[in-house]
Amino acid sequence: MTLHTPGSATPATAAARLIYHKPDVLLDRSTHYCPGCGHGIVHRLLAEVLTELDLPAHTIAVAPVGCAVFAYDYLNVDFVEAPHGRAPAVATGIRRVRPEAFVLTYQGDGDLAAIGTAEIVHAAARGERITAIFVNNGIYGMTGGQMAPTTLLGQRTTSSPNGRDAALMGYPIRITEMLAQLPGVAYAARGTVADVPAIGRLKAMIKRACQIQLNSGGFAIVEALSNCPVGWGMTPLQSLEHLKGPVVDAYPLGVIVDRGLGADTHPAAGTACPAPSHPEA
Amino acid sequence: MKTEREIGVGDGRTEAELEAGRRSRVLMKGNEAIAEAAIQAGCDAYFGYPITPQAELLEWMARRMLELGRVFVQAESELGAINMALGAAATGARVMVSSSSPGISLMAEAMSYMAGSGTPMVLVNIMRAGPGLGGIGPSQSDYFQATKGHGHGDYRVPVLAPASIGEAMELLASSFEMAERYRTPVMLVADGILGQAMEPVDLRFRTPERHAFDWALTGAAGRPARIIKSIDLDPEVLEKRNLDLQHKYREIARHEVRWEAWQLDDAEFAIVAYGTAARVARTAITRARERGIKVGLFRPITLWPFPERELARLSRRLGGILTVELSSGQMVEDVRLAVEGRCPVAFHGRMGGLVPTPDEVLGALKALSGHHAHTPPPRVRGYEATELFEPDYPAHSGARRGGRR
């Protein structure tokens, strides 16, 4: 494509090179997410990774209950809606009858770390060959900012109006670290959308988690620490500072476990992969 | 229990051998016969969780499905099992789940989602006595749950109720057909006796035809992406979704009603019963006819859609109806709605895992036939409710607490 710049003294003759664009799998719609919310960034990263790995046509994704309930409105892949917390079980069913599909779950912390703990723990324990995207913003955003299991100590929410008190409400759950104990978990990592370098690292984690599934490595989960400006009662910029500070302090970033499974170059997307192999503990 | 080789359903046999096997009659346990019928009906995936009295169904599947290279997963809970089924069914697979009463309560959530999103599945409930953990004896006390809705929302689920193991095997194939034809979960309910008993069955299996589904999630290669969901936050859109569902239910009610009439041609009285209760009723009817009481059996096979028109028509020429259930009286409400007072409707039932004896039923029949001309209709019970539920609550404490006299 050659661009001719109107009004310039000499016509532009160099061919313009497209180096960055919206992935086609990301639908051209404005989202329902609140201003400053991190979900849009995670959607974008996921769309980029799916495109780079040539996966959209093979993907069957599971939408959660929570803020990402409408994920299917933004990502142009086959989607099934799961009841609250059940996405890993739904994904298990898909995985077992569709060995050739790329199976993806997208859950928030209320969905995954509260009501859906049994489903996520056992999908991980079985080493289900699925890729789980876990967006942790430490709050129930969709229902109006109530306390989640991941809410920080002292954090005020609409259901912990005086701040989360450990004596009454227990402690935040680092569920990704819990899952990392399980031998069926090939990969568990935590990133964040807090700033641009972190977003780049988060994308690399998501890509690795997807490649592991393609290489039959087992269960892979990426936790994306995100913000909820409205639920946290902050401006978007304040919420990002909060995310980089106390939230990251409570939930350390990095790869928690990478068992080196499925590390080789992945086969072409869409080829059938064998059933999950269960490494010994 | 016989192995699949002995009963002639294993692989690696010639067609003639298979045919000979199909013609044979073998003694089979209900749970295992249901499981094998599902396999022969082409069940691609089974998800379950152990619970008495249906555990043998899960165990049969654990062995056979793996032998056949199909999908078996023992889930972490009934919630896990039915949501795995939801996921597998969303891709167009032929999927079955089974459980017993307390487990079905846990599955209610996903049933609502599957009904709302139009996801086909067969769910078998080998009913045990409740409420709560209850007991492991046979029961029909999940009639309300099965026919009036398990989970939330305006939805129905076809419910098939076999009265023998052989019939259960045939109805299982029908269940898959209905599930796929109407894009709905279908329930097959049998009390614990049908699950646990052994009886001779004809090894005649049926495999419903496969259809290509234009809704199944297979990856959006060369076509627009598909979404299977029940959510619609726009009330107008959601009402339309509900109207479509109700239209579907009317179609099911129009085409799928099943019942059996036995010795009703000259009958002056009828017993309405399903499942094991219907088998007790047959014995009671035979004994009653020996005593000159002209009585027959009306046996609903679909509990929903309930054969209400057929029962209404029948009730016009009857002197009375006795409903027999392994419950406190649940189906009897649908019987009364169908009969609309055209004849007296009495009830006899046992709970807690007990089964009415033919003589109990005969006694109730005698009472009905002797009193049918009188009003009000007789209250026939297998127990004295007033004795059972004699209020021995502490005296109302509100007044004392309030300190007012």
Residue B117 touches chain A, beta carbons under 8 Å: yes
**DSSP for residue A191:** E
Mutate to test the interface with A, among B46, B78, B84 (most CBs of A within 10 A): B84
Cα distances from B281 to residues A275, B324, B329, in angstroms, run 50, 7, 15
Tell me, yes or no, if B214 comes closer than 8 A to chain A by beta carbon: no
Q: Tell me whether residues B84 and A92 touch, CB distance under 8 A.
A: yes
The pLDDT, as a whole number, for residue B378 is 42
Cβ-contact B90, B114 below 8 angstroms: no
Question: Which residues on A lie below 8 Å from B80 (Cβ)?
Answer: 86, 89, 92, 118-119, 122
Q: Does A114 touch chain B (CB under 8 A)?
A: no
Nearest CA in chain A to B96: A93
B42 touches chain A (CB under 8 A): no
Contact A102 B219 (CB under 8 A): yes
Cβ proximity of B228 and B118 under 8 Å: yes
- Residue B339 phi/psi, 5° resolution? -75, -30
Q: Name the E strands within B87-215.
A: 95-99, 121-127, 159-160, 185-191, 198-202
pLDDT by residue for chain B (405 residues), tens only, comes to 333 333 334 455 667 766 666 667 899 999 999 999 999 999 999 999 999 999 999 999 999 999 999 999 999 999 999 999 999 999 999 999 999 999 999 999 999 999 999 999 999 999 999 999 999 999 999 999 999 988 999 999 999 999 999 999 999 999 999 999 999 999 999 999 999 999 999 888 999 999 999 999 999 999 999 999 999 999 999 999 999 999 999 999 999 999 999 999 999 999 999 999 999 999 999 999 999 999 999 999 999 999 999 999 999 999 999 999 999 999 999 999 999 999 999 999 999 999 999 999 999 999 999 854 444 444 444 443 333 333 444 445 444 444 444
**Does any CB of chain B come closer than 8 Å to the CB of residue A275?**
no
Chain B interface test: which of A28, A32, A73, A92 (most B C-beta within 10 Å): A92
- Region A139-167: mean pLDDT is 97
- Please answer yes or no on whether A93 and B231 come within 8 Å at the CB atom: no
Chain A interface disruption, residue of B43, B68, B86, B183, most A CBs within 10 A: B86
| Beta-carbon contacts of residue B337 (< 8 Å; ≥ 6 apart) | B308
Is A115 an interface residue toward B (CB < 8 Å)? no
pLDDT range class, residue A260, cuts 50, 70, 90? confident
Q: Which CATH superfamily is domain A39-258 in?
A: Thiamin diphosphate (ThDP)-binding fold, Pyr/PP domains (3.40.50.970)
CB-CB neighbors (< 8 A) of B121 in chain A: none
CA-to-CA dists, residue B63 to A89, A139, B39, angstroms = 22, 44, 11
Question: Which residues on chain B are in Cβ contact (under 8 Å) with A114?
Answer: none
Chain-chain contact of A93 with B84 (C-beta, under 8 angstroms): yes
Per DSSP, the three-state class of B346 is: strand
Nearest CB to B88; choose among A56, A63, A97: A97
Alpha-carbon distance A144 to A47, whole Å?
28
Query: Is the Cβ pair B221, A57 closer than 8 Å?
Result: yes
- The backbone torsions φ and ψ at residue B114, rounded to the nearest 5 degrees and listed phi first, read -70, -40
Assess B121–A contact: CB distance below 8 Å, yes or no: no
CB–CB contact A91 B87 (8 Å): yes
Backbone angles phi, psi at A210, to 5 degrees: -75, -40
CATH code for the structural domain at B4-206+234-255: 3.40.50.970
Which among A80, A101, A126 is the nearest to B219, CB-wise?
A101
Show me where the domains of chain B are located: 4-206+234-255, 259-388
DSSP 3-state of B300: strand
| Burial of A188: CB neighbours in 10 Å, binned 0-12, 13-18, 19+ | buried
For chain A, how big is the Rg over CA atoms in Å? 20
Q: What is the pLDDT of residue B18?
A: 63
Q: What is the mean pLDDT of residues A160-173?
A: 98
For residue B79, give the 3-state DSSP assignment. helix
pLDDT of amino acid A206 = 98
Task: Determine the pLDDT at residue A10.
Answer: 55
Distances (CA, A) of A87 to A65, A243, B87: 9, 26, 9
Q: Do A119 and B79 touch (CB under 8 A)?
A: yes
Which residue in B45, B117, B219 is closest to A93 by CB distance? B45
Half-sphere exposure of A38 (CA within 13 A, CB side): 31
Whether residue A80 and residue B83 make contact (CB cut-off 8 A), yes or no, is no
CATH architecture of B259-388: 3-Layer(aba) Sandwich (3.40)
Mind telling me how many Å the CA of B7 is from chain A's nearest CA?
28
With beta carbons less than 8 A apart as the criterion, state whether B315 and B343 touch.
yes
Residues of B in contact with A69 (CB under 8 A): 231
Contacts of B226 in chain A (CB under 8 A): 78-79
| A86 neighbourhood in chain B, CB within 8 Å | 79-80, 83, 86, 110
Q: Out of B81, B93, B217, whose CB is closest to A80?
A: B217
Q: Token pair of B183, please?
A: 């894009």
What is the rounded CA–CA span in Å between residue A167 and residue A160?
12
Q: Establish if B111 touches chain A: CB-CB under 8 angstroms.
A: no
Whether B122 and B188 have beta carbons less than 8 Å apart is answered as yes
Distance CA(A10)–CA(B152), nearest Å, equals 69
Count Cα atoms within 13 angstroms, Cβ side, for A50.
30
Task: Return the percent helix, strand and coil in chain A, to nearest 5.
Answer: 35, 20, 45
The single residue listed with the structure tokens 């789940």 is B97
Size of interface A-B (CB pairs under 8 A): 136
Chain-centroid distance of CA B71 in Å reads 24
pLDDT for A173 beyond 80? yes
Element (H, E) at B29: strand B25-29
A124 touches chain B (CB under 8 A): no
Contact (CB<8Å) A86/B47: no
Same CATH fold assignment for domains B4-206+234-255 and B259-388: yes
A147 pLDDT above the threshold of 70: yes
- 8 Å CB contact of A122 and B80: yes
Interface contact A62, partner B, CB < 8 A: yes
Strand ranges for B121-184 from DSSP E: 121-127, 159-160
Ranges of beta strands (E only) in chain A are: 59-63, 78-81, 102-108, 131-136, 139-140, 146-147, 185-192, 219-225, 254-258
Beta bridge partners of B25: B202
Instruction: Tell me the residue type at B101.
Output: S
Q: Does A178 touch chain B if contact means CB atoms closer than 8 Å?
A: no
Q: Which residue of B has its CA nearest to A75?
A: B225
Tell me which chain B residue has its CA closest to the CA of residue A27. Answer: B225
B395 and A CB contact within 8 Å: no
**Nearest residue of B to residue A80, measured between CA atoms:** B228
